């Protein structure tokens, strides 16, 4: 029988003793428009209902999301609804992790959906090859959603940390052994931080496919969100989250006595890039950014950017700008020139 839980002192569902291979965690907040399509795709994953569970975490939705989720729980006994007061996506994912009992864990955003049989194919491959992590491609075009053809490549550790947590299949044993959880209160890049910690702790390469197997929905209000960042309060929340992430990467690495390797430098530089780029775009003080990064324990020597992101002028410039952050006055002068050119 499916399980429905509400917020309680135990923090989640009682662990079940079963041979479940996969736990899929779906945090939900006011997503009634897209949730049915998301959950429907999770019923077509090729695994039988005793091999996987879907943990839908309702983060205090005020629309009909909980009703939609409950209808799936009533129809599919491997779908479970967990309710909590609104605490944000990190807390919702953590609640799912506390209740998960599959050998592997995957995350799905409630407005996205998957290609059919994705988890059957990927879990079978990971089981056969004994991979600790698998990464798959995404698409923004519904017509280009592919079926997994079984082909994969091995991504070097230093290049394997991406921003989105829903692009990965994780091994539960690693997550639980080290008590990995998402940082509650961090509004941006919280999944990048989780991915970094997981990959460093596995200390292994990541199997990957470039195929677009996961459909990422873009919203009409994405432009509005960018415009809102121009407001000081919204920009400060974004900026503070990035500062925490870059500082926590270094704190975690030092605490666990992990060498400062290519993954560390690439990850530090990738977040630094977003911090510095936001200063350029939203006309904030680069000098203040430099000082606040130092307050987080991150020095100029931590910025050893190793690889470009994309071929467009924007990304090449961001890469060059991040590299020149080590040269404070060159960086400040570049910010000034860019602001004159781009209005």
pLDDT at 244: 92
- The pLDDT score that the predictor gives to residue 107 is 98
**How do the domains of the chain map onto residue ranges?**
4-215, 222-341
Task: Write the secondary structure of the chain as one string of H (helix), E (strand) and C (coil).
Answer: CCCEECCCCCCCCCCCCCCCCEEEEEEECCCCCCHHHHHHHHCCCCCCCCCEEEEEEEECCCCCHHHHHHHHHHHCCCEEEEEECCCCHHHHHHHHHHHCCCCEEEECCCCCEECCCHHHHHHHHHHHHCCCEEEEEEECCHHHCCCCCCCCEEECHHHCCCCCHHHEEEEHHHHHHCCCCCCCCCCCCHHHHHHHHHHHHHCCCEEEEEEEEEECCCCCCHHHHHHHCCCHHHHHHHHHHHHHHHHHHHHHHHHCCCCCCHHHHHHHHHHHHHHHHHHHHCCCCHHHHHHHHHHCCCCHHHCCCCCCCCCCHHHHHHHHHHHHHHCHHHHHHHHHHHHHHCC
User: What was the pLDDT predicted at 192?
Assistant: 94
Residues of the chain with pLDDT below 50 are: 1, 3-17, 221-227, 306-310, 341, 343
Topology (CATH) of 4-215: Spore Coat Polysaccharide Biosynthesis Protein SpsA; Chain A (3.90.550)
Q: What is the pLDDT of residues 40-72, one digit of tens each?
A: 999 999 999 999 999 999 999 999 999 999 999
pLDDT at 202: 94
Q: pTM value?
A: 0.83
Query: What pLDDT score was predicted for residue 119?
Result: 97
């Amino acid at each position: 029988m499916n399980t429905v839980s509400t917020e309680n002192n135990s923090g989640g569902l009682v662990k079940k003793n079963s041979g479940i291979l996969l736990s899929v965690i779906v945090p939900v907040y006011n997503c009634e428009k897209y949730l049915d399509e998301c959950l429907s795709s999770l019923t077509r994953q090729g695994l039988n209902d005793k091999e996987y569970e879907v943990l839908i975490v309702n983060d205090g939705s005020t629309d009909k999301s909980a009703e939609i989720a409950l209808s799936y729980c009533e129809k599919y006994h491997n779908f479970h609804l967990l309710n909590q007061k609104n605490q944000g996506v990190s807390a919702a994912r953590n609640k799912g992790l506390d209740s998960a009992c599959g050998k592997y864990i995957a995350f799905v955003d409630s407005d996205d959906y998957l290609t059919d049989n994705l988890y059957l194919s990927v879990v079978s491959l990971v089981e056969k090859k004994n991979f600790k992590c698998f990464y798959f491609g995404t698409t923004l075009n519904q017509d280009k959603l592919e079926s997994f053809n079984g082909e994969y490549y091995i991504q070097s550790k230093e290049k394997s940390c991406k921003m989105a947590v829903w692009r990965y299949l994780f091994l539960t044993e690693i997550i639980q052994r080290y008590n990995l959880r998402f940082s509650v209160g961090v509004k941006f890049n919280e999944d990048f931080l989780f991915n970094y910690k997981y990959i460093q702790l596995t200390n292994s390469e990541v199997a990957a496919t470039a195929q677009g197997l996961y459909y990422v929905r873009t919203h009409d209000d994405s432009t509005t969100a960018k415009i809102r960042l121009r407001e000081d309060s919204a920009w400060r929340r974004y900026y503070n989250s990035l500062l925490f992430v870059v500082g926590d990467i270094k704190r975690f690495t030092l605490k666990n006595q992990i060498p400062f390797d290519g993954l560390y430098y690439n990850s530090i530089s990738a977040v630094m890039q977003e911090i510095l780029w936001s200063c350029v775009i939203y006309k904030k003080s680069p000098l203040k950014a430099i000082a606040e990064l130092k307050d987080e324990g991150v020095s100029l020597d931590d910025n050893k950017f190793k690889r470009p992101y994309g071929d467009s002028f924007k990304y090449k410039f961001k890469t060059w700008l991040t590299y020149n952050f080590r040269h404070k006055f060159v960086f400040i002068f570049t910010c000034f020139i860019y602001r004159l050119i781009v209005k």
